[in-house]
Copies of this chain bind each other. A is one copy, B any other.
Amino acid sequence: MNNPKKQQIVSTARDLFWKFGFRRVSIEEICREANVSKMTFYKHFKNKDELVKYIIDFITGIAMKKYREIMDSDIPFTEKVEKSIQLKMESSNDMSQEFFDDFHKNASPELHDHFNKLVHANLNTIQNDYIKAQKQGDVRPDINPNFILYYLDKMLEMAKDENLMRLYKSPPDLINELTRFFFYGILSRKT
């Protein structure tokens, strides 16, 4: 954890993985760039897969911790959702397409599995929050929580769509529109 050599390895690997994905980066290259011998690498990680796991767990761990803080805070439900959407947008900006492509295209079965389980667990956490909100009356009772999960991903896609973006002054404007639509749909509020 706090071992400086291990940190160098992780930090260097992260940089290289973010640029090129993990398939294109060799262990020796990481060691060279991190000024660490290969033996030291193998002291800390069994192989490249374990390093990739470590990094992905670390990254998603931070994001999920932030998410939990939002959901456990004492603010109205709508604010929680707004903040969690905001977090999702920020986190995805911080991600590298090359890195995540490798999980689908070039990962070992074990790594692929680990990745899927992680994603699934996190989606589950989020889904449970929405189910809970539904029980507490914050979310319309006749909507499928699975659809909400699906739609949150679609929102990210839409937020990154350049053609859609052209209709708005700035990215936050588009995110606001998406968020309001997520809350209220298109109909005006009748009292």
Task: Point out residues on A near B: beta carbons under 8 Å.
Answer: 19-20, 24, 98
- Which residues of chain B come closer than 8 Å to A20, judged between CB atoms? 20, 24
Name which residue of chain B comes closest to A23, CB basis: B24
Grouping DSSP codes into helix (H, G, I), strand (E, B) and loop, the A interface class, with mixed when no group exceeds half, is helix
Task: Please tell me how many copies of the chain the complex holds.
Answer: 2
4 contacts between A and B (CB under 8 A): A19-B98, A20-B20, A20-B24, A24-B24
Chain B residues closer than 8 Å to A24, beta-carbon distance? 20, 24
CA distance A20 to B97 in the complex (A): 13
Complex: A188 Cα to B54 Cα, angstroms: 61
Residue in chain B with minimal CB distance to A24:
B24
